[in-house]
Structure 1
């Protein structure tokens, strides 16, 4: 009887994988911009598992997302017509749920292994890739190796890395170890060279469509305004980091695509997307792009968002939720750009174009 039920389940799972509208799995790697709860299962200070995080989530409770509600991967999943992927460490990621994909992201991490050491136990990017290999073994045992490979090859991937290598490493403290070791242009080159290896490894592991987000305008987030700005103007040094880093990221993705002979990697100009509503918040319906909704101190940019923090009553008119992270509404604007923006924002094409192309294949 057990064998018969197993066969039925395998048949059902294989059937799902062969239906294009349902087949596209989604995999997420990176930091707190895309973590949807992995850090809840770790002994780390980089966590979002208490209110008011999640206040506007459907359950009105914290989930580990660094948002008042949904984050970037959730909103992309909506566009894919799929349920949100579960955190890889979630005990609920079993059976059929595995076929939806998985989120491996962990708040606090960077491209470099020494980024985020102050947060203690977080899932470095090398470990995220190891978990992805483990995931593939689990799916292989569920539906067979050929179907597992097809699921991965046809999946959409999202990776968000790099910002923490600046704000939680190079610029974390004055005269940090990395800033003594490298001047900024050389540090950017070092981070980029390491990132290229990570992305090449992701391709080796089967990724064929990967959305890579550049860093946002690091000097404009409420945390940096609180620490570095007397006038509310973006910090020029941290802005320079993004201005050096993002064009180099586009270059290495172009090189990787050339090596692969296909448009595997697509870059999102998160810097420009954010700067649009930072420089003209009213055009997007925001009352401020400087003050965080939740926090304390100047611009609500100091420390963590906690139950003791001041909290704005209407999250939809704030661009920033906490000291570093956008509100759900800002995330929705960003994902809309992922989907439909011109090559000024998305290179070499936007996500809608990718989905339409892949649907025809």
Structure 2
């Protein structure tokens, strides 16, 4: 064979291998569980006050219309889907989730929920985490009817999972009101122990249902969101008590995930240090192109942190300059920063490995 032709053939093979590693997950399903940080519209189908179905939510989407996401545009699951080379997952309650769309996965998340069933009771009709897992069982039944038992199991086992829980158990439960039921029942360390005991059961159940690769986010910097600054801060500094709660929860969650991985003999659960990811731009917003990480783009009152984001709210002109979209939720730009850490972050952000490594490894199995 001519040397030039041989060299060309070798180059073609190398490029093909690299291409397979760079986009290993085109057919990989994606399942999302959790709260408003990852809900992409399930609550639109519920009679609840925890909804993002009116303007100016969705102002930066192509249609400029609200989609049920608590964002000016895309949220973390949407951006992860981009990296997976897939279309965004549909809300499980969407009537459009049928046929071939089932193969993409589904989003089961519901704004307002927590690890505990009594978290978010003020929102009345939301999909608590145990119900989300029941919906996942129903989804698998539909999938088996469509592609058969073995193929359905393979799709689920090879899927990527994302679960985001815990923040509401503090801000919408333990610290919701002074002398709340839970704060009178538990000291903060005991409360953290209690909710992590419950969380471990949830994660174990997810593994029993077929989850083999799950990104588990800790809570973000709870004391730094505009809603808590408006209620608790006189000088714009993050509330130390809520920061302490997040720190206790996150450090112990990391230990729980390590214990589960040891129990299952595999790196099933990947710890995503959301606290550190968010604190980067909270403490140094200018380094990320933001003008503020204290004032929400949409809202009213101090730091635009009081009440809901509505058409009557203050609304910033340039969402790319604001780390927070509303009183609790990051802007799309901030979500993209977080997902960049998911993809390529060092072990201080993603442990035991980042998502790029996971995708490359799993592509070779």
TM-score, length of structure 1 as denominator length = 0.94
Match of 2:230 among 226, 237, 240: 226
Give 1:23 shift.
2.0
Alignment correspondent of 1:212: 216
Give SS of 1:23's match: coil
Deviation, 1:181, is 0.1
Given the alignment, which residue of 310, 328, 332 partners 2:332? Answer: 328
From 176, 180, 185, the counterpart of 1:181: 185
Structure 1 residue 348 corresponds to structure 2 residue 352: yes
2:24 and 2:359 in contact (8 A); partners too: no
1:137 to 138, 141, 159: 141
Q: Which residue of the other structure, out of 266, 270, 277, is the alignment partner of 1:273? A: 277
Cα distance in 2 between the residues matched to 1:143 and 1:268: 32
1:95-145 deviation per Cα after TM superposition (whole angstroms, max 9, x unaligned): 000000000000000000000000000000000000000000000000001
* Higher mean displacement: 202-211 or 51-60: 51-60
Equivalent residue number for residue 237 of structure 1? 241
Asked whether 1:156 is paired with 2:168, we answer no
**1:310 is matched with which residue?**
314
Rounded Cα–Cα distance in structure 2 between residues aligned with 1:360 and 1:313: 46
* Alpha carbons 2:221, 2:275 under 8 Å: kept: yes
- Distance in 1, Cα, partners of 2:31 & 2:24: 17
2:36 counterpart of 1:28: no
In the alignment, structure 1 residue 284 sits paired with structure 2 residue 288: yes
- The CA distance in 1 between the partners of 2:209 and 2:63, in whole Å, is 35
Answer with 52-61 or 326-335: which moved more.
52-61
Determine helix, strand or coil for the equivalent of 2:248: helix
Structure 1: distance between partners of 2:25 and 2:91: 23
Give CA-to-partner distance per residue, 1:60-109, whole Å, 9 cap, x none.
11000000000000000000000000000000001000000000000000
Q: CA–CA distance in 1 between the matches of 2:26 and 2:242?
A: 42
Q: Deviations over 1:243-268 (max 9, x none)?
A: 10001000000000001100000011
Matched residues in 2 for 1:202 and 1:164: separation?
Answer: 20
**Could you tell me the TM-score, scaled by structure 2's length?**
0.93
d(CA) in 2 for partners of 1:110, 1:58: 31
Verify: 1:44 aligned to 2:17, yes or no.
Answer: no
Match of 1:247 in 2: 251
Per the TM alignment, residue 22 of structure 1 is displaced from its structure 2 partner at its CA by 2.9
Secondary structure at 1:47 match in 2? coil
| C-alpha displacement of 1:234 | 0.4
Q: How far does residue 20 in structure 1 lie from its aligned partner after superposition?
A: 6.0
Distance 1:20 1:286, change over 3 A: closer
SS of residue paired to 1:159 = strand
> In structure 2, how many angstroms separate the alpha carbons of the residues matched to 1:32 and 1:38?
10
The 3-state SS of whatever aligns with 1:255 is helix
**Cα distance in 2, alignment partners of residues 109 and 149 from structure 1:** 28
Greater radius of gyration (CA): 2
